[in-house]
Structure 1
Amino acid sequence: MTREPRYLGSGTIEGDTPALTGAPPSHLPSRLAITLWDFSWYARAEEGGPYADLDKACAEAAARGYNTIRICAAPLLLFGGLGLDALAEDLEIEGLGTAPDGGIYGRGTRWYDAPGGCRLNLWQRLLDLFDCAARHGLVVILASWEYQQSPVFAASPRWFEAIDAVPLGERYRVLADAWDRLIRALTEAGHRERIAMVELHNEVDFSILPALADGGSRQLQRLRSVHPDLLLTASYGKPPHLAMHTLPDGLGAAQFHVYSYGVLDALQRQIDIRSEGTSGFPNPALRALLKSDAPSLAEYGRLAEWKYRATVVTDQMFYGYDWIDPGAWDTWLYNEYGPYREVMRREIESRVVAIAAWARWKDVPAVVGEGWIGYTPLLGTFEEGPVGRDLAERGIRMALEHGVWGMVLCSNAAPHHPMWADEEWQCRMNHLILTAAVN
């Protein structure tokens, strides 16, 4: 005798979550495997640097299974109408500058370890990047990091001073106008269909911008009305996972970031590395993790003062990351990880689910453009190691199970990070993404 399964309520019936949350434009890939090149694709263009040869960098990305790169396209510098045309045509990259010991500031950081020493025409470089992307079958997500850090790498403060002079309430309008002009210029160059997405700005919640609801949403909707065939949105560094209904209208895609700091946050709090101007810094906990030859804070010196205003990274972070002993850093995290393990796993999973559910409600594609643990020193291996890869794989699999269209493997999986050398893992995970069923 065959029994019908008992009905235990509508909450026990699984939905069709693997189906994409919203349909992307038909000319774009069915899934996006994203590598995060941010502003480094021009800030690290020095001779012998990871982006000195754009064609080689694109070829390496394709060989690792990526089909998408996400970049800062510097719309305000290129098309902001701020009197920066001459600067954009001959942009000198300096990095953070030279420290008193002769080394560069930012030497121990991710993203900021730019030695400088190159000049470039940024518009021509952007066209070259699109040409290289086309040759290697890649599409491009365009964003701006300009109100977070992009201008800090320039030798001249003019880029930062020009965008900083824009009144806070006008910044989204100026961004939208710049994007309109940049999109039209790329279209004229034959690259419109290679644009996977345009973000008004990266991490609007952690940039020198008003809340998106305070004018940004309106400007985004205006831009979408002009370019209805493109995915236009803004990204959040920490979307309100427990109150996603509070997000403003107008987002054409759910491009949100999923970081679970957990044990990393515990360490950062203990060593007080994200603050600025703390009396008695570095504290004993941080001093215990520094290299034996670390200079004092006074001996370390300071960047040019305008550079601190041009980035959201603090003076204490630069000092700490430049002089931390990566082995001591990793050892602390591994020793303390146990109590945070399940919390970090569940936090990543629940945040992915919240993002996907919101995107499904709004009928827009969902993308995880950054993730999964957080900001670590350049030579720290906690995120690249077994713990970090385990958390990343959980996030990726959960994203695929809930219909997320595109995702990074890890924010550190890019040519300017040591993780780029782990080719096998990147190939394997990108194959998983690109072969996942799309219902």
Structure 2
Amino acid sequence: MSNLLAAPDRPRVVSLWDFTWYTRTGPGEPFEDLDRAFAQARERGYDTIRICAMPFLLFRSGINTSALGLGPLGGEYGQRVRWYDVRHETTIDARAHLLELFRAADRHDVGIIASSWEYQQSPSFAATPHWYEALHAVDPEERAEVLADAHADLVDLLEAEGLGHRLLLTELHNEVQIGYLTDGLGVGRGDDAVRALTPRLERGITRFRQRHPDRPVTVNYGGVPVGALSALPADLDALVVHPYVYGVLQELIDTFQLRGTVDQFDEERARELLRPDAPGIEKWSVPPGQEWRMRATIMSVPEVYVHDWCDPDAWDRWLYDHWGTHRAAMYQKLTMWLDAAADAAASRGIPLILGEGYVGYTPLHGRFEEGPVGAELCRHAMREARRLGAWGAVVCSNAAPQHPMWADVALQRECAAILTGADLPAPLFPPPSSTSRAVTRAPGAWSRQDR
């Protein structure tokens, strides 16, 4: 039996490379040179990456991916939006590129968590809508099973190439309750969606296990679904959650109606965040003929518009101005969420992994997450993950080659050291609720043999 998820000597430090490792390979882009990206990751303390392995595209779409065209959403649309700022049109042999990623990981001794963002946004960067159309041609009731077969095909390929040892964990999909996996269920994105999805996901996990019973498999959830933890699939091999606590950021989103429709958006109110030269929202779109890209991503138009056209300093000032009323609640929410997730994982005898976090989704050039407030929340998350015996955690979702935070080497090294238990001084300004408790759940060895 596999022991790929056996607890390491110390928690694994994860960097979120998502789909960007294949969408941004052009000249001067962060993944132009995979060896350089891995070397920089190791320098910052990372030993694991988490990726969209594009499994459906490679193995179940029927699309020839030997010359896969990728590029921006069109014009300047999305160029100041985090994760969406693809600069160049590129052509890759997708399968060969995936194998090269695993070979580079092997050279640098880095483990990989393979997931899929395909029912959220990966296809929006393709040169044609064929990938998006193939995904949505699959009956929603069968999507998890098709993804399971695709991931199983990926494992077959990796094992045939002698690279299977680099794959630590398979996630059928990213943030399963937030995206097109919920089609046809008649639910939103909350706990009701978590519960309603479970039968579909259990069928997918069963399908993957039929082909690779010795390989750990799971799904992951946006946030921490504290109201539905008992309703998660019965046979997960790890509990992967994304504790974005939002708080003050949620107040901004609600105040300016960033996640509603264009009709609901109050453009005049949003002017306090926008640059003076911002066009009207009705004028901001992808080029004609590219409208399918907006359907291929789950982002709302107002959120893209404001991220593209905000003054990053005005955005950050708004967050700092309102931070005081949310400070205690955000720390408490993060601790409560992680306690609940750790308890749910322990009750199942499976590892806890923090796959993303910790404030939330901010504009590309905003600095709240790596500034004095956000950085301390990241440190707090690392202390809590260490206390609870998490198998691994991201330092921050923005701590990856495709984000400006990558340049803050010292912060990433510090957070990695906190997570892995290096001898560091106590925080100068402790968070509002004490987290000085002793470690309550030390990492313990785990494998599928133990279940």
TM-score relative to the length of structure 2: 0.87
Q: Which residue is 2:79 aligned to?
A: 107
Letter in 1 for 2:142: E
After TM superposition, give the deviation of residue 67 of structure 1 in Å. 0.1
The answer to whether the aligner puts 1:325 opposite 2:304 as a matched pair is no
After TM superposition, give the deviation of residue 438 of structure 1 in Å. 4.3
- Once the two structures are superposed, residues 183-217 of structure 1 have per-residue CA deviations (whole angstroms, 9 ceiling, x without a partner) of 11011111111111110000001020134313211
Q: How does 1:258-297 map to 2 (within 5 A)?
A: 258-279=243-264, 281-297=265-281
Q: How does 1:352-363 map to 2 (within 5 A)?
A: 352-363=338-349
Letter in 2 for 1:60: Q
Q: Which runs of 5+ in 2 are unaligned?
A: 183-195, 423-441, 445-451
Return structure 1 stretches of 4+ with deviation > 6 angstroms: none
Of 74, 90, 96, which aligns to 2:67?
90
What CA distance in whole angstroms lies between the structure 1 residues aligned with 2:285 and 2:197?
Answer: 36
- Once the two structures are superposed, residues 330-349 of structure 1 have per-residue CA deviations (whole angstroms, 9 ceiling, x without a partner) of 00100110010000000011
Letter in 1 for 2:165: E
What CA distance in whole angstroms lies between the structure 1 residues aligned with 2:4 and 2:386?
Answer: 15
Q: Which residue is 1:177 aligned to?
A: 149
After TM superposition, give the deviation of residue 38 of structure 1 in Å. 0.2
Cα 1:90–1:97, aligned 2, differ >3 Å: closer, same or farther?
same
- Once the two structures are superposed, residues 137-177 of structure 1 have per-residue CA deviations (whole angstroms, 9 ceiling, x without a partner) of 10000000000000000111000011111111111111111
What CA distance in whole angstroms lies between the structure 1 residues aligned with 2:349 and 2:360?
Answer: 29
CA RMSD of aligned residues (A): 1.6
Q: Which residue is 2:45 aligned to?
A: 65
Q: Which residue is 1:195 aligned to?
A: 167
Instruction: Give yes or no for contact 2:26–2:88 (8 Å, CA) kept in 1.
Output: yes
The answer to whether the aligner puts 1:145 opposite 2:132 as a matched pair is no
What CA distance in whole angstroms lies between the structure 2 residues aligned with 1:335 and 1:30?
Answer: 38
Q: Which residue is 2:96 aligned to?
A: 124
What CA distance in whole angstroms lies between the structure 2 residues aligned with 1:188 and 1:381?
Answer: 44
Q: Which residue is 2:56 aligned to?
A: 76
What CA distance in whole angstroms lies between the structure 2 residues aligned with 1:367 and 1:301?
Answer: 37
After TM superposition, give the deviation of residue 116 of structure 1 in Å. 2.9
Q: Which residue is 1:48 aligned to?
A: 28
**Secondary structure, aligned partner of 2:243:** strand
Q: Which residue is 1:9 aligned to?
A: none
Letter in 1 for 2:37: A
Q: Which residue is 2:433 aligned to?
A: none
Cα 1:96–1:29, aligned 2, differ >3 Å: closer, same or farther?
farther
Cα 1:24–1:353, aligned 2, differ >3 Å: closer, same or farther?
farther
After TM superposition, give the deviation of residue 77 of structure 1 in Å. 0.5
**Secondary structure, aligned partner of 1:275:** coil
- Once the two structures are superposed, residues 394-424 of structure 1 have per-residue CA deviations (whole angstroms, 9 ceiling, x without a partner) of 1111111111110000000000000000001
TM-score relative to the length of structure 1: 0.90
What CA distance in whole angstroms lies between the structure 2 residues aligned with 1:270 and 1:361?
Answer: 39
Q: Which residue is 1:15 aligned to?
A: none
Q: Which residue is 1:157 aligned to?
A: 129
After TM superposition, give the deviation of residue 355 of structure 1 in Å. 0.7
Instruction: Give yes or no for contact 2:7–2:391 (8 Å, CA) kept in 1.
Output: no
Cα 1:232–1:129, aligned 2, differ >3 Å: closer, same or farther?
same
**Secondary structure, aligned partner of 1:348:** helix
- Once the two structures are superposed, residues 54-73 of structure 1 have per-residue CA deviations (whole angstroms, 9 ceiling, x without a partner) of 11001100111100000000
After TM superposition, give the deviation of residue 392 of structure 1 in Å. 1.2
Residue correspondences, number: 408
- Once the two structures are superposed, residues 342-387 of structure 1 have per-residue CA deviations (whole angstroms, 9 ceiling, x without a partner) of 0000001111111111000000111000000100000101111111
The answer to whether the aligner puts 1:406 opposite 2:380 as a matched pair is no
The worse-fitting range, judged by mean Cα deviation, of 395-404 and 297-306 is 297-306
What CA distance in whole angstroms lies between the structure 2 residues aligned with 1:386 and 1:213?
Answer: 39
What CA distance in whole angstroms lies between the structure 2 residues aligned with 1:180 and 1:212?
Answer: 21
What CA distance in whole angstroms lies between the structure 2 residues aligned with 1:257 and 1:92?
Answer: 30
What CA distance in whole angstroms lies between the structure 2 residues aligned with 1:432 and 1:369?
Answer: 17
After TM superposition, give the deviation of residue 28 of structure 1 in Å. 6.0
What CA distance in whole angstroms lies between the structure 2 residues aligned with 1:429 and 1:188?
Answer: 37
After TM superposition, give the deviation of residue 228 of structure 1 in Å. 2.9
The answer to whether the aligner puts 1:223 opposite 2:202 as a matched pair is no
Letter in 2 for 1:78: L
What CA distance in whole angstroms lies between the structure 1 residues aligned with 2:220 and 2:70?
Answer: 26
The answer to whether the aligner puts 1:383 opposite 2:355 as a matched pair is no
Q: Which residue is 2:330 aligned to?
A: 344
Q: How does 1:206-221 map to 2 (within 5 A)?
A: 206-210=178-182, 211-221=196-206
Letter in 1 for 2:283: E
Q: How does 1:24-35 map to 2 (within 5 A)?
A: 25-26=5-6, 30-35=10-15
Q: How does 1:5-24 map to 2 (within 5 A)?
A: none
Instruction: Give yes or no for contact 2:58–2:94 (8 Å, CA) kept in 1.
Output: yes
**Secondary structure, aligned partner of 1:375:** coil
**Secondary structure, aligned partner of 1:184:** helix
**Secondary structure, aligned partner of 1:307:** helix
Q: Which has the larger radius of gyration?
A: 1
Of 356, 369, 372, which aligns to 1:370?
356
Of 282, 289, 298, which aligns to 1:298?
282
Instruction: Give yes or no for contact 1:149–1:312 (8 Å, CA) kept in 2.
Output: yes
Instruction: Give yes or no for contact 1:205–1:238 (8 Å, CA) kept in 2.
Output: no
Instruction: Give yes or no for contact 2:16–2:399 (8 Å, CA) kept in 1.
Output: yes
Letter in 2 for 1:92: G
Identity among equivalent positions (%) equals 43
